[in-house]
Homo-oligomer: A and B are copies of this chain.
């Protein structure tokens, strides 16, 4: 429970640094996101309610949105998934999503420090000032690859017609 305090204080300091009040709702959301990276709002609500049962869904949406704007959290939206949140910000890491089971893994960028941040514009295109480059790898994780090669092992959860 003492390591908890460290985290609490660190988050509290960050909140104050951004001119935000330190509320138990924000602390609960931050702790929940930290403990469950790559989670949607609903899961964060459930996790945060473990320590703050009266927390409401709206508060989670508001807090997540605000903290994302402050860059204390990072949001990304994989295809066919609600938005996911994580506390790992500031680096420009990317994400790999298994299109079969939905598992998400962090991927450090291969290309130096600011990867893919310099798109190659057409002649006629008016270049934008790029701020971030979200790279979303989609593939099949090892577990799903195996269970697809052994179709006998597969329950009836997702069979193609």
**Residues of chain A whose beta carbon lies under 8 Å from any beta carbon of chain B:** 75-77, 79, 83, 94, 96, 98-99, 105-111, 115-116, 118-122, 125-143, 145
Contacts and interface: CB of A to CB of B under 8 A. Distances in A.
Copies of this polypeptide in the complex: 2
A62 B122 CA distance: 33
10 contacts: A77-B79, A79-B134, A94-B119, A105-B126, A111-B111, A127-B142, A128-B140, A129-B145, A134-B135, A134-B136
Given A127-B142, A130-B137, A145-B129, A116 B115 contact: yes
A75 to B, nearest CB: 7
A137 B128 CA distance: 9
B122 A108 contact: yes
B138 A121 contact: no
A68 to B, nearest CB: 10
The 7 A-B residue pairs with the shortest CB-CB distance in the complex, in nearest-first order = A110-B120, A128-B139, A130-B139, A107-B119, A134-B136, A128-B141, A129-B139
Contacts of A99: 131
Contacts of A133: 135-138
Nearest to A111: B111
A128 B118 CA distance: 26
